[in-house]
Amino acid sequence: KKMVLTGKIAIVTGGGGGFGEGIARAYAEQGARVAVLDYNAEAAQRVAREIGGGAIAVQADVGVRAEVERAAAEVIARLGVPDILVNNAGTTHVNGSLLDVDEETFDRVFRVNVKSIYLFAQALVPAMRERGGLILNIGSVSAIRPRPGLVWYNGSKGAVTLITKSMAVELAPAKIRVNVLCPVMAATGLLESFMGKPDTPENRKLFVPTIPLGRFCEASDVAAAAVFLASDAAAFITGVELPIDGGRSV
């Protein structure tokens, strides 16, 4: 089987678990060399070790400029200039009244979900524009069809979508494509916060019927789309908001 990302270098933020881990593994299986970046150093090291094949682990807080710049420099020094940047790291507040989210939590959600994209663009676009590439942002179906209880999280993902489309147009002359994936809820570490209640089979049954295909999103669903968008087959696709939601946004 021909590997579609042979020779490519990829950074995946939040790569120590969930969607990020799935994307990092899929990229490596397709021949890319992957920098697994995570706030949790042990998680990043575990994923990089299990991937093998020249994958590296990098610890960084994606919302702090100095750490993003250090991480970018480390990746360039150890692997080379990335062809693919996946801004996957994300966080949320607990599902509940918009009035119950404290200011510190609001700031953290926007720092991790939105400011990180700004910081990584500043750190890597100057190097990437020499030869083009892909920036893939992980948004949410909530930016298309928001549920109540997640107002400020939904707003952060709305920003991700519009930033993606704006970047796509501005960076097109540099042959840098920019797309956003919009998954529905998945059984990742954030599920309990999204549901606003314990992760039990009974509580999952309350949410699954709102997804026409009848299940939660899997990391493999997101990873498959991430591989396609990073491949040459998607060379003419930029500025796209791709729901991976089993029909939830319809």
Would you please indicate which residues are annotated as catalytic (active-site) residues? 153
Nearest Cα neighbor of 62 from 46, 78, 44 is 44
Alpha helices in the chain, H assignment, sequence order: 18-29, 41-51, 65-78, 103-110, 116-128, 151-171, 191-195, 201-207, 219-230
C-alpha span between 105 and 122 (Å, rounded): 25
C-alpha span between 241 and 140 (Å, rounded): 10
Tokens (6 digits) for 100 = 């119950």
Let me know: does 157 contact 143? Beta carbons within 8 Å: yes
Tokens (6 digits) for 237 = 């696709």
